[in-house]
Structure formats: C-alpha cells, structure tokens
Amino acid sequence: MRRIGIWIAAGGLLLATAACGGAGGGNGGAGGPAKTQTLSVGAVAEPANLDFTSTEGAAIPQALLVNVYEGLVKLDQDGKIVPLLAEKWDVSEDRKTYTFTLRPNVKFSSGAPFTADDVVFSLDRVKSDWKLKIKTQLDVVDKVEKKDDSTAVVTLKQPSNGFLYAMTSRLGAMFSRTGVADLANKPVGTGPYVLGSWRRGDSLRLDANPSYWGTKPALSSVTLKYFKDATAMNNALLTGGIDVISSVQAPESLQQFADPNRFETIEGTTNGEVVLSMNNGRPPFDDKKVRQAVRHAIDHKALLDTAWAGRGQLIGSMVPPTDPWYEDRTGDYPYDPAKAKELLGGKTYDVKLRIPSLPYAVNSAQVVKSQLAQVGINAEIEPLEFPARWLDQVFTKGDYDLSIINHVEPRDLGIFADKSYYFRYDNPEFGKLLASADAGTEQEQAADLKQAAKLLSEDAAADWLFLFPNLIVAKKGVTGLPKNAIAESFDFTGLAKQ
C-alpha cells in the first residue's frame, strides 16, 4: 500500500485529478463519435512523460488510465470495483486464487489481440521493470498464469484485502507484449482513446479509438490544455478557449461562472489529503514534541477559509470519508498556540518550507508560515517548480523540513509504512497494523486501519490541512463530468456535449 499521488489540475502530489464514470466500455454515448464533437479540458500540471511505470506523478494516469490503458477491473463513481477487461472473476475459498475471465475480441490500438498472455506479461512486468515505490503493493502476488487465451489465474502468497483494489490503479494496467518499447512517448493500450498529439508545455490530445471493443466514446477527441496559473485557465473558460476546468485553482473566483445559462459548477469530494509534510528523519521534526507543536499551532478552519475559500473538509488524518475505516480525527490536536509553545519548551526554530509551485500549496503555505511564527517556528517558504524540482528535491532526496502536497491516490495510508518514503516516518507498529489489516476479514481490516490512522495522528507523523474538494466548472451542455474524484484517472469515456 505504498502510494503517492499528484493532482494535475489541483496540483496534487505526485498528483492527479481524478475520476470517473460507470463500468468500463458501456458508459459512453451511443454510436460512433461525432466528427465535430471535441472537448478541451483545462489542467495545471502536465506529465513529465507518458510512462507511469517509471515516472512518479499522478498527471500521467490522470490522462491515460482508463482512457488509453485499461485494467481487468476499475472503480466506478461510487468507489465500487467493477469489471473492465475482465468480464468476471472468481475468488477461491482461501482467498488466495483469483481467476479472471477476459472479454472476447479485445484488441490493443496496435491491432494485437488482448489475451491472458498479456495479463501474465503485464503483472510480471510490475515486479521486473516498474521503478515506482507503489509496485510493492503487488508483492503479495506469488504467480500469474495463463489457463487459456481468455482465462488468467493470479495466485497470492496470502489473502489480501488490498490486491483487487490495487488492480484498479495504474498497477493493473494491461500492456501489449509488443507495445512497451517507448512508453514515455507512444502508449499502446486497449482503451477508448489513443494518443493523438502531445505538444509539450501546451497540450495533450486523445483521439477516439475507432477499433475500441466497447461502446464508442461520444467525443472524437479530448484535449488536456495545460496552464501555468489559475487566472489564465479561468480566462480561457470565460472566453471559450476551453470547455472545462478540471479542478478549480482559485475557489474565490467561482462567482465569475455564476451565470447558469453559460456555466455549470460541480462540487464533490476527492481522496486528496492536503498534507503538511514533516521530515521525521532530521531535526527539528525528528522530535515528536516539535511535530505535535506544529499540529496544535495550526488553525485548520482559518486556513481552509483563507487558502481555499472554505471549500473542502477538515479530516485530521490520512483517511478520507469515502473509506470504510474513516474516523473524524480533527479533535486530536485542537488549535492551541499555548500548548504548542509548551511542547516547544521555549525553543525557537528556523525551518525550510519547500512547496510545489501550485495554488493550493502557495496559499496554504502563507497561512502556515504566519501561524507557526506565533509559536516560535520561523518557516522560510521556498516554492519549487512542479513536478520536476519538487519531485527531485523533496520527494526523491527528502531534502526539506516542511512541505505541502495533495496526496490524491486512493487508500494511500500505507505510504507511511515505508521509512524511506519522503516523510521518513518509522514506527514498526504501524506496519504491523497494515499487514494485519490486509490479511484479515473486512471487519478486522476496518478495525486495524482505524487503529493505524489513530497511531499516525498520535505520532504527529504529518499534519492534515484539509481534504481537497472536487470543483469542476464547465460550459453549459457538457455532460458526464464526475461529481467525485475517487480514482487515479479522469475518465473521459462518459463525457459528451449537448
């Protein structure tokens, strides 16, 4: 369960906006794509390349997962696991063997047929070729075998509650055995769209796949248009340059789009925890009392109101309300500057607050800096270009004291179990709770993960500023936009124009 996410439009961690639509293949419009049905979607952080097997960042799966690459299963808008390239699956009584029955007549965009051989290839490749830390989520897999062309069997080392859920993420993407030579530039998948063009620094266009196995998308193409700042993106929607803002970057500006005859605003929830990250591996935040002081020093309601116009939700932990083991932990560290000063013991500290150059992080950092200064922690804000510099300096090298990032990947509590992760958090008891949760019953899983979230909060491994909202603005007549962003992808298959 080691994952990190980044929000493209919201600018999240390694970061992505996310999700939607119903079960695969059948959730688009009827018939073939209309020749003039195109859609332009505004976003903020563009992918560094198109290979999500070796490059961190949710910007890549946001654009490509479900749209270009499909898995055996996917998440629907309610967070339920539903069939995609697998028509069905059966689980053995001991919960260790998953037998997937594949859809017939599915082809990759290259024309190669999709068979059980590709399932074996794709899942074996996670272990052999993937470079990302999240690959460890499939360490529970013992072997993957082909029973026949339309049947693949996955055998686990032990029962796992997380395996099938992990298969809905990029880890479960199916690749062609002949289509992985240039993943950074030429994705080959089974999905309803193919890569049309990519103008680095400007836009990425996906074109409808004419040979798609399922219901053809209603749009002939979807273009992700990337903007450097929120004002430029807002102006593009106001002037007709784009059709959709995939994640509003300036909530205070929503009044510009209040005319119901021109625009529609969609507000829902996400999995995105905006985290005030603390480097547990070096002073001063290797001291639990200093971390606890930070948590008491933050007035979270004031921060949310100031930084994000009150949009979002206070949660106090790494678990969003959409997860079954959610508990409101906002009361663990109430705003109490006097308590914070007491924990610091009269000491003062100078620290670096290294943040991605994204609106939610920049706005939040100003509030954090002001509030920490009141208790004796002087934070120097250093905005870093996102994704490249932030990923290199903070995420990869761990060279920071504090940071602010939107962790958007679903069910990512387990990233704290990896002591080499950029939090540098190290508590063996936390890892034991996660292992027990994965192998237990559903009831045991929920109980263990509630305890794990509580332990993480008590240790003040980080501070959770707020849950990022799903705020989308679109021209009137755009349909199929997701109310909630609960997966890694922004699923274009249900989008249409009236």
User: Is the distance from CB of 403 to CB of 430 less than 8 angstroms?
Assistant: no
The average confidence (pLDDT) of the chain is 92
Which of 172, 204, 236 lies at the terminal end of a domain, its last residue? 172
Residues in the chain: 498
| pLDDT at position 237 | 98
- Residue 10 within any structural domain of the chain: no
What whole-number distance in Å separates Cα of residue 75 and Cα of residue 106? 20
**Mean pLDDT, rounded, for 183-194:** 98
pLDDT surpasses 90 at 11:
no
- Residue 7 within any structural domain of the chain: no
- Residue 5 within any structural domain of the chain: no
| pLDDT at position 45 | 78
Residue 142: pLDDT band by 50, 70, 90 thresholds?
Answer: very high
Average the pLDDT over each of 45-59, 61-75, 375-389, 441-455 and give the range with the smallest value.
45-59
Domain count, the chain: 3
pLDDT surpasses 70 at 8:
no
Give me the domain span that covers residue 157. 51-57+68-172
Secondary structure class of 237 (helix, strand, coil): helix
Residue 79: pLDDT band by 50, 70, 90 thresholds?
Answer: confident
pLDDT tens track for 189-228: 999 999 999 999 999 999 999 999 999 999 999 999 999 8
Report the Cα 485 to chain-centroid distance in Å.
9
- Residue 15 within any structural domain of the chain: no
User: Is the distance from CB of 106 to CB of 165 less than 8 angstroms?
Assistant: no
User: Is residue 207 domain-shared with residue 157, that is, in the same domain?
Assistant: no
User: Is residue 201 domain-shared with residue 246, that is, in the same domain?
Assistant: yes
User: Is residue 258 domain-shared with residue 278, that is, in the same domain?
Assistant: no
User: Is residue 102 domain-shared with residue 213, that is, in the same domain?
Assistant: no
pLDDT surpasses 60 at 9:
no
**Mean pLDDT, rounded, for 115-127:** 98
pLDDT tens track for 392-435: 999 999 999 999 999 988 899 999 999 999 999 999 999 999 99
- Residue 32 within any structural domain of the chain: no
Q: Report the 10 Å Cβ neighbour count for 293.
A: 29
User: Is residue 274 domain-shared with residue 233, that is, in the same domain?
Assistant: no
pLDDT surpasses 70 at 370:
yes
pLDDT surpasses 50 at 24:
no
User: Is residue 279 domain-shared with residue 289, that is, in the same domain?
Assistant: yes
CATH code: domain of residue 144: 3.90.76.10
pLDDT surpasses 50 at 229:
yes
Angle, helix 288-297 to helix 337-344, in steps of 10 degrees: 160
| DSSP string across 129-153 | T--SGGGGGGTTEEEEEEEETTEEE
SS (H, E, C) 455-479: HHHHCCCEEEEEECCEEEEEECCEE
User: Is residue 291 domain-shared with residue 425, that is, in the same domain?
Assistant: yes
pLDDT surpasses 90 at 35:
no
| pLDDT at position 16 | 35
pLDDT surpasses 80 at 34:
no
**Mean pLDDT, rounded, for 317-336:** 96
Q: Which two tokens stand for residue 182?
A: 């240039």
Q: 172-193: buried (b, 16+ CB within 10 Å) or exposed (e) per residue?
A: bbbbbeebbeebeeebbbbbbb
Residue 58: pLDDT band by 50, 70, 90 thresholds?
Answer: confident
- Residue 296 within any structural domain of the chain: yes
What whole-number distance in Å separates Cα of residue 400 and Cα of residue 360? 19
Residue 36: pLDDT band by 50, 70, 90 thresholds?
Answer: low
State the amino acid at position 157 in one-letter form. Answer: K
- Residue 238 within any structural domain of the chain: yes
**Cα angle, residue 275 at apex, residues 273 and 277 outer, rounded to 5°:** 155
User: Is residue 250 domain-shared with residue 262, that is, in the same domain?
Assistant: yes
| pLDDT at position 306 | 97
pLDDT tens track for 238-268: 999 999 999 999 999 999 999 999 999 999 9
User: Is residue 200 domain-shared with residue 252, that is, in the same domain?
Assistant: yes
Single out the residue of 452, 12, 463 nearest to residue 280, CA to CA.
Answer: 463
CATH code: domain of residue 474: 3.40.190.10
CATH code: domain of residue 360: 3.10.105.10
User: Is residue 317 domain-shared with residue 294, that is, in the same domain?
Assistant: yes
pLDDT surpasses 70 at 31:
no
User: Is residue 337 domain-shared with residue 451, that is, in the same domain?
Assistant: yes
% of the chain exceeding 90 in pLDDT: 87
Angle, helix 359-373 to helix 288-297, in steps of 10 degrees: 100
Instruction: Label residue 28 exposed, middle or buried (CB < 10 Å: 0-12, 13-18, 19+).
Output: buried
pTM for this one? Answer: 0.88
| pLDDT at position 445 | 97
% of the chain exceeding 70 in pLDDT: 93
pLDDT surpasses 80 at 284:
yes
What whole-number distance in Å separates Cα of residue 80 and Cα of residue 354? 36
- Residue 450 within any structural domain of the chain: yes
User: Is residue 319 domain-shared with residue 371, that is, in the same domain?
Assistant: yes
Residue 311: pLDDT band by 50, 70, 90 thresholds?
Answer: very high
| pLDDT at position 4 | 34
